[in-house]
Amino acid sequence: MNRLVVRRTLYSNHHQPKCPWKRGFCSGGEAAAAAPASSASSGQLNHIINQKDGSFAGDDQPYDLAIVGGGMVGMALACSLATKPLTKHLKVAIIDSNPALANKLSIKREDPPDPRVSTVTPATISYFQDAGAWQYVQQHRHAFFDKMQVWDYTGLGYTTYDARDVYKDVLGCVVENRVLHSSLLSRIEDTDVQKTIYPSRLASMIRYPSSSVKADDNTREASYIKAGLVKLEMSDGSSLYTKLVVGADGAKSQVRNLAGFKTTGWNYSQNAIICTVEHSVGNHTAWQRFLPGGPIALLPIGDNFSNIVWTMSPKQASDLTVMNEDEFVKAVNQAMDNGYGPHPKSNFSNGSNKFSFLGGNLTMSTNESFEVPPKVVKLASKRAAFPLSLMHANDYVAKRIVLIGDAAHAVHPLAGQGVNLGFGDAFTLSRIIGEGVAVGTDIGEVSLLRKYEAERKPANIAMMAVLDGFQKIYSVDFGPLNVLRAAAFHAANYISPLKRGIISYASGEQRLPIFP
């Protein structure tokens, strides 16, 4: 991996250090190093502490925020902070060794779609619109879908969801991850926020407890000065000080490990295969069929392409990954169509049915008959498989550290909610930071961060519980349970208030399921 030189362009403004702290800690006057000893070159960690007066050298003024991990969720946080008047003055450091951050990749329309896609819910779309990043997403390939059909292999029932059930236009939008990422980056470039990108990996993190007074003499005052800060050291030797560390570095979060957060979770004994496929006709519906090994989902990406997410046992996954393309296409068509079991019977009853007493207008989709998904014509990308697991950090915040996105929680992809939870975290955290700045709080204060945790934790846990419940229920093939699931399909299809509740919850508009 290339170790790029740490970019210090933004530091030229700070070369004349203003050190108001000197007055408090100058013993014996200002004799101590009138100017910082060396203009900081990376790798000289000690020169900071050895300064007699303990103040910071010009290049190492502390940051307000350090976002570890420059993925979609980390950049969403940075973008949201950069576009709000209360927070755009915050100095942000972004630590990620991905070269895409430093040199933006241009994505052309003619490129085949990347198999890594995400379904963004309307709630996430509105966050993006508020931040002004959605306009950039619209310049690339993206696909809104307004219908969704869910059924299983037993052929006993199916459910169709329509956006018009909740009087909306779309149920969601499927966008490639790289498109989301680059549109967030473009929006950040638009603003004049002070940010620095550190293209390396985080190596260690030191928090200075305010009451610790260390043993050796010349660092005592220095370590007290740093009491309100966290020191991050990178693998290429550079280091920085910051008031708040945001861990947005994914499921194997280094920040989470270094900070010692405990997690709960388990591995699903399932792998997911993702790939892009092509149809002969356009596809504007999301299809999901629960098979004995796991669900297969077909999501429209636009331009006759669709994305497949197929969950199955690891052995089957490796078989399917290596088989040749035509066989794979055939397997996919079978899985979506006639394989494993019959089609469910369409319901041809007219408007009234036995559940109409539950009130509310009947949803439009009740009358829709079962449709067979469009056939896959060819494979348009490589197949990739990855293992699935559930993970939830027991705490999201500690003093001066907060976790967002996959670093805090990882879920099963069966409902496309994972990254939406992450975006919810990012935009909520940015709003809470704004509220903190409005009343002059130190943004690393744990009481402020707890507000974020109190808002996101219940929502995340509820969603994870629902998804985990689905995953468990559908992983068992047992007669009475199959009938129960079929009843559930029927209930969701015909009981309109329930259907509306499900759609609202999955769209991110409701915090908890069932209770509006």
Partner 1 sequence: MLLFPLPHFPRFPIYSCSSSATKRRGTAMAAKLLSRLRQLDTRLISLQHQRPFFRNARLFSGQQIPSSDSHPSLPPTPTPTPLPPPSAGSAGEKRQRTSSLKDHELAKFAAISDTWWDSEGPFKPLHAMNPTRLAFIRSTLCRHFSKDPNVPKPFDGLEIVDVGCGGGILSEPLARLGATVTGVDAVEKNIKIAHLHADLDPTTSTIDYVCTTAEKLVEEGRQFDAVMSLEVFIINISVLKISDSRLQHYFSFRSIHLVATSIHVIEHVADPAEFCKSLAALTRPGGAVVISTINRSIRAYAAAIVAAEYILHWLPRGTHQWSSFLTPEELVMILKRSSIDVEEMAGFVLNPLTGKWLLSDDVSVNFIAFATKKAEG
362 binds partner 1 (CB under 8 A): no
225 binds partner 1 (CB under 8 A): yes
Instruction: Give me the helices (H) in 20-149, please.
Output: 22-25, 46-50, 72-82, 99-102, 122-131, 134-138
End-to-end CA distance of the chain: 49
The DSSP result for 305-363, as a single string, is EEEEEEEE-HHHHHHHHHS-HHHHHHHHHHHHTTTTSPPPPPP---S--TTGGG-SPPP
Which is closer to partner 1, CB of 53 or CB of 96?
Answer: 53
Q: Which of 7, 15, 18, 472 binds partner 1 (CB under 8 A)?
A: 18
| CA dihedral (277, 280, 285, 287) positive or negative | negative
86 binds partner 1 (CB under 8 A): yes
228 binds partner 1 (CB under 8 A): yes
26 binds partner 1 (CB under 8 A): yes
| Burial bucket for residue 164 (CB in 10 Å: 0-12, 13-18, 19+) | middle
Which is closer to partner 1, CB of 85 or CB of 351?
Answer: 85
Q: Which of 2, 46, 106, 211 binds partner 1 (CB under 8 A)?
A: 211
Q: In angstroms, give the least distance from the CB of 320 to partner 1.
A: 50
Q: In angstroms, give the least distance from the CB of 435 to partner 1.
A: 8
Residue 181 three-state SS = helix
**Any idea what DSSP says for residue 251?**
T
Q: Which of 9, 46, 85, 109 binds partner 1 (CB under 8 A)?
A: 85
Q: In angstroms, give the least distance from the CB of 401 to partner 1.
A: 15
Q: In angstroms, give the least distance from the CB of 105 to partner 1.
A: 34
Applying CB under 8 A, what is the total number of residues that bind partner 1? 34
Which is closer to partner 1, CB of 3 or CB of 220?
Answer: 220
Touching partner 1, residues 27-66 (CB under 8 A): 27
476 binds partner 1 (CB under 8 A): no
Which is closer to partner 1, CB of 85 or CB of 480?
Answer: 85
How far, in Å, CA of 436 to CA of 87, rounded?
A: 10
Task: Give the 3-state secondary structure percentages of the chain, helix then strand then coil, rounded to 5.
Answer: 40, 25, 40
242 binds partner 1 (CB under 8 A): no
Q: In angstroms, give the least distance from the CB of 516 to partner 1.
A: 21
How far, in Å, CA of 150 to CA of 172, rounded?
A: 15
Nearest one of 488, 414, 506 to 170, comparing CA atoms: 506
Which is closer to partner 1, CB of 37 or CB of 438?
Answer: 438
Q: In angstroms, give the least distance from the CB of 218 to partner 1.
A: 11
Which is closer to partner 1, CB of 438 or CB of 461?
Answer: 438
Q: In angstroms, give the least distance from the CB of 385 to partner 1.
A: 45
Nearest one of 356, 364, 368, 370 to 495, comparing CA atoms: 356
Q: Which of 31, 105, 213, 384 binds partner 1 (CB under 8 A)?
A: 213
Touching partner 1, residues 254-293 (CB under 8 A): none
How far, in Å, CA of 177 to CA of 185, rounded?
A: 12
Q: In angstroms, give the least distance from the CB of 407 to partner 1.
A: 23
CB 188 within 8 A of CB 195: yes
**By rule CB under 8 A, what string of x and - marks binding of each residue 426-465 to partner 1?**
---------xxxxxxxx--xxx------------------
Which is closer to partner 1, CB of 371 or CB of 445?
Answer: 445
Helix axes 122-131, 418-438, angle to 10 degrees: 40
Going by their DSSP bridges, the two strands 295-302 and 305-312 should be labelled as: antiparallel
Which is closer to partner 1, CB of 110 or CB of 216?
Answer: 216
220 binds partner 1 (CB under 8 A): yes
| Backbone φ and ψ of 81, nearest 5° | -65, -35
How far, in Å, CA of 89 to CA of 69, rounded?
A: 21
25 binds partner 1 (CB under 8 A): yes
Residues that bind partner 1 (CB under 8 A): 18-21, 23-27, 85-87, 89, 210-211, 213, 217, 220-221, 224-225, 227-228, 435-442, 445-447
